[in-house]
Chains A and B, each alone.
Chain A
Amino acid sequence: MNLVRDGWALTIRNLWHIRRNPERLLDATVQPIMFTVLFVYVFGGAIPVEGGYRDFLMPGIFVQTLAFTSFGTALGLANDRKSGFVDRLLALPTSRSALLVGRVTSDMLVTCLTLVILMATGLVIGWRPHESAGSIALAIALMLLFSLSMTWLGVLLGCIVSEPEAVMGVGFIVLFPLTFVANTFVPTSGMPPVVQTLAEWNPISAVTAAARELLGNTNASLQTSEAWPLLHPELATLLLCVALTAIFAPLALARYRRITRG
């Protein structure tokens, strides 16, 4: 009971933060919107994709953005540790897990909001899903599950690295290659063989392929890869989420227990 109440109190606190400092939400949305505009109007013309580049691009943008949200979680935790807020919290009769629950809950709410903004942006520039409402809902659910699984990585990072700037640094070094050496922005068929193999087995590609399939933003001409994750993208995504959670949740929780024990 206390956990729910205290977790909610800290969720509200984090949402107050966003209302006071909307920059963070802007950071989460402005960059993908910029990428969208850049790729559609600058690079897109040079990237021949059957069925239209806009439909191809948007699922890639969604997945890249959701991959980055885990670093928002890491950043939030690092900031709270550095500022002394965690210490204040631990001296209160507050559930030990409330910080984590509040962080993850508010970050998931931000993620949902970000996804809504990006989908709206996509609709404005001409992206259209071509599947049933049920399938679209499934696509959204799968992407959010992926985001939640990535959160464990964020929790772990936020508990290990206490300098917010360092968190940003690690985030960019890991996530930029991960989200670019993939099928997110261009089809893998045009890549040199080694890079192509890397991209096809990159888990981000599986998630993107799953989103494209469920949103109806793919066609036979794009499904050229024989790599297993791209032949079964939904299953591969589910397995990825299970693996991320199974590996990083215990590590993250062990670290979290260490910082909240003092």
Chain B
Amino acid sequence: MAVSARGLTKSFGETRALRGIDLDIPRGSVLGVLGPNGAGKTTAVRILTTLLRADSGDATVLGYDVRTQPHEVRKRIGLAGQAATVDEILSGRQNLELVGRLYHLDAASRRRRSSELLEQFDLTEAADRPAKEYSGGMRRRLDLAAALVADPQLLVLDEPTTGLDPRSRNDLWDVLTGLVDGGATLLLTTQYLEEADRLADRIAVIDHGSVIAEGTASQLKREVGGERVAVTASDAADVTRVAEIVATASGAAPQVDRDGRAVTAAVTGLDVLGRVSEGLHAAGIEVDFLGLHRPTLDDVFLQLTGHHAENGAPTTADATPEGADA
């Protein structure tokens, strides 16, 4: 096990940030810790990276106890993300050189490793410019490069793409996918469901300091149930008739969304979509959307916690439409 944590708790005054968290990461695998802001993700990361002591519970990282052997842990891990930042005044190369010195690499290795990483993260051109002139995406790549200077056996990324525009996020995901394919062991925290889905082998969902679900993305999705047929009426006045049509066609109890226009129901057979389409057509009802809705991690989150993932995360709730507009 690269990471094994049992019963971690941490309170800040009255606030119970962690209420007993268990986490396991086998070597060579990626664990995504998913949760909204304030769920306790960063606290967990800070404990596992020796920046913070747990009030109770045990954790070993790469076989070393984070409480009693923090130095051994630090030698073998790399941390990037909101808990660690680049030095804005220094250039990209100076940042990597400095981190190399602080990991006690010799001068030749420092120079070689800095150049390699600048190349790998497409920063060679900007290598000698101060990091404050970098774009958000470049800064995150430099931050990631700094975490990789000493070839860590475990890479810890605390919300690596929070605050990035979609394009930079996609670029960074490509970089991270490359690392994952290369066999890196990764602990990743994120508020983005899509990010965990895309990068992690296993996902631990945390909310209010507890792990409320753990499994692969498809296991978690299965908990929510299978595909659903979804119809969005153009006119809210039609929604009752739409619900009737969907109920008749699917034989399952339909649910009407809060905004009063979208109707969903469990898919009971392959021809449901066709029958709903015929029914709507016969009744002359205009719809904005008709299709199949695949459960997303946002649905998982809603199911488990009773609330959506927050903070404007680019949820995939209305993605993956598989039907045609009727």
A-side residues, CB < 8 A to B, are 2, 5-6, 9-10, 12-13, 16-17, 20-21, 83-85, 87-94, 98, 261-262
A91 touches B77 (CB 8 A): yes
Q: List 25 A-B contacts (CB under 8 A).
A: A9-B101, A13-B87, A13-B90, A16-B94, A21-B89, A83-B85, A84-B82, A84-B83, A84-B85, A87-B51, A87-B83, A88-B84, A88-B85, A88-B99, A91-B49, A91-B74, A91-B79, A91-B84, A92-B103, A93-B71, A93-B75, A93-B102, A98-B102, A262-B52, A262-B53
Give the chain A neighbours of B89 by CB distance below 8 A. 16-17, 20-21
Give the chain B neighbours of A5 by CB distance below 8 A. 101, 104
Give the chain B neighbours of A2 by CB distance below 8 A. 104
User: A80: nearest residue on chain B (CB-CB)?
Assistant: B87
Let me know if B17 is at the binding interface, CB within 8 A: no
B51 touches A91 (CB 8 A): yes
Partner of B90, one of A6, A17, A91, A98: A17
Known contacts A6-B101, A13-B87, A94-B74; can you find 10 more A-B pairs with CB under 8 A? Answer: A2-B104, A9-B102, A13-B90, A16-B90, A17-B89, A20-B89, A84-B84, A84-B85, A85-B85, A93-B104
Inter-chain CA distance A258–B112, complex, in Å, is 36
Let me know if B130 is at the binding interface, CB within 8 A: yes
Q: In the complex, which residues 90-139 of chain B have their Cβ closer than 8 Å to any Cβ of chain A? A: 90-91, 94, 98-99, 101-104, 130
Inter-chain CA distance A87–B79, complex, in Å, is 10
A-B contact count (CB 8 A): 74
B102 touches A91 (CB 8 A): no
A262 touches B102 (CB 8 A): no
User: A94: nearest residue on chain B (CB-CB)?
Assistant: B102
Let me know if B146 is at the binding interface, CB within 8 A: yes
Inter-chain CA distance A92–B105, complex, in Å, is 12
Main SS at interface, chain A: helix
B-side residues, CB < 8 A to A, are 46, 49-53, 71, 74-75, 77, 79, 82-91, 94, 98-99, 101-104, 130, 146
Give the chain B neighbours of A17 by CB distance below 8 A. 89-90
User: B77: nearest residue on chain A (CB-CB)?
Assistant: A91
Give the chain B neighbours of A10 by CB distance below 8 A. 102
Give the chain A neighbours of B130 by CB distance below 8 A. 20
The 10 A-B pairs of least Cβ separation, nearest first, read A84-B85, A88-B84, A9-B101, A93-B74, A93-B75, A91-B79, A262-B51, A94-B102, A92-B102, A262-B52
Give the chain A neighbours of B146 by CB distance below 8 A. 88
A83 touches B104 (CB 8 A): no
Give the chain B neighbours of A6 by CB distance below 8 A. 101-102
Inter-chain CA distance A262–B67, complex, in Å, is 13
Q: Quick one: which of B50, B51, B53, B88 has the most chain A CB within 10 A?
A: B51
Give the chain A neighbours of B94 by CB distance below 8 A. 13, 16
Give the chain A neighbours of B103 by CB distance below 8 A. 92-93
B306 to chain A, nearest CB (A): 33
Inter-chain CA distance A92–B84, complex, in Å, is 10
Give the chain A neighbours of B46 by CB distance below 8 A. 262
Give the chain B neighbours of A92 by CB distance below 8 A. 74, 99, 102-103
Give the chain A neighbours of B51 by CB distance below 8 A. 87, 90-91, 262
Give the chain B neighbours of A89 by CB distance below 8 A. 102
Inter-chain CA distance A85–B52, complex, in Å, is 16
